[in-house]
Amino acid sequence: MNKLKICVAGATGWAGSALSQGIADAADLELVAAISRRYDGKTLEEAIGIAGLTTPIFGSVDDALKTGPDVFVDYTKPDVAKFHVLSALKSGAHVVIGTSGLSSADYDEIDGVAKAVNRGVLAVGNFAISAVLLQKFAEMAAKYIPNWEIIEYASSGKVDAPSGTARELANRLSNVQEASLEVPLDKIDGIKESRGARLQGTQVHSVRLPGYVISIDAIFGMPDQKLIIRHEAGTSAEPYVNGALLAIREVGKLVGLHRGLDSVMKF
């Protein structure tokens, strides 16, 4: 069997190290390269203790891409992810984006380059199945209930806001309709920002406090009734591994940018 060759940028991080273990355990995948500045020149076994994993770690994307991966996964930081992704596409790899914090303009640019080089990009704000289902159910609800808002919660150290999950959800709901506001934002009496950020037609509120990990509420309101759809994640990176493996296996069937794991799931 020809194994799919994978490069993981951010392989030594919280999410990337769990994924690297998942790839190492998969019979059809081969982890040919990893990216981390701190562990440049080491192997993944030396860096994160995955027994027998001699995958080399590179400090730069250009060096890592010389290993010729079929699929490039980014699990780093928003300030560097777009550069990684564009470099990977130009090298001929398909790309899975796990990193959150990229803007709509970043995604538009990535989509243009992916189409130009005839490669697929799958950007998934949250690989956990319960988060994927929340997105799907919220999309259904938005067809029937025109008023909704999103509240997302994370630990105090999370630097990007709104979260990738919230950005992806707002993006999907914008394809259904814009959320209605009874009082337009410019008619707010008081502090307009207290109504949250308007993101692609949805009000989004980001809470950052110690004690939270990652959770999100999609709240749909109608007179005398409401629907609250909640996803909550625990402290391990385990929920994201299977979804990311599915994305890695399926992204080669896509061309251009696709957002959300359900792009490659059967419902």
Binding site for ligand NAP (CB under 6 A): 9-10, 12-16, 35-39, 75-77, 80, 98-101, 124-127, 164, 240
- What's the closest the beta carbon of residue 151 comes to ligand NAP, in angstroms? 17
Cis omega (within 30 of 0) on the bond before 56? no
Residue of minimal Cβ distance to ligand NAP:
13
- What's the closest the beta carbon of residue 15 comes to ligand NAP, in angstroms? 4
| Closer residue to ligand NAP, CB minimum distance, 123 or 145 | 123
- What's the closest the beta carbon of residue 125 comes to ligand NAP, in angstroms? 6
Full DSSP string of 115-155: HHTT-EEEE-S---HHHHHHHHHHHHHHHH---EEEEEEE-
- What's the closest the beta carbon of residue 113 comes to ligand NAP, in angstroms? 19
Query: Where do the H-state alpha helices sit in the chain?
Result: 14-25, 44-48, 61-65, 78-91, 104-116, 129-144, 164-174, 241-250
Query: Where do the H-state alpha helices sit in 3-58?
Result: 14-25, 44-48
Tell me how far apart the alpha carbons of residues 72 and 95 are, in angstroms, rounded to a whole number: 5
Tokens at residue 188, please? Answer: 């707010």
- Helix pair 241-250, 129-144: axis angle to 10 deg: 80
| Closer residue to ligand NAP, CB minimum distance, 77 or 195 | 77
- What's the closest the beta carbon of residue 100 comes to ligand NAP, in angstroms? 4
| Closer residue to ligand NAP, CB minimum distance, 39 or 148 | 39
- Three-point CA angle 71, 248, 79, nearest 5°: 65
| Closer residue to ligand NAP, CB minimum distance, 16 or 220 | 16
- What's the closest the beta carbon of residue 50 comes to ligand NAP, in angstroms? 14
| Closer residue to ligand NAP, CB minimum distance, 152 or 220 | 152
| Closer residue to ligand NAP, CB minimum distance, 21 or 220 | 21
Tell me how far apart the alpha carbons of residues 40 and 37 are, in angstroms, rounded to a whole number: 5
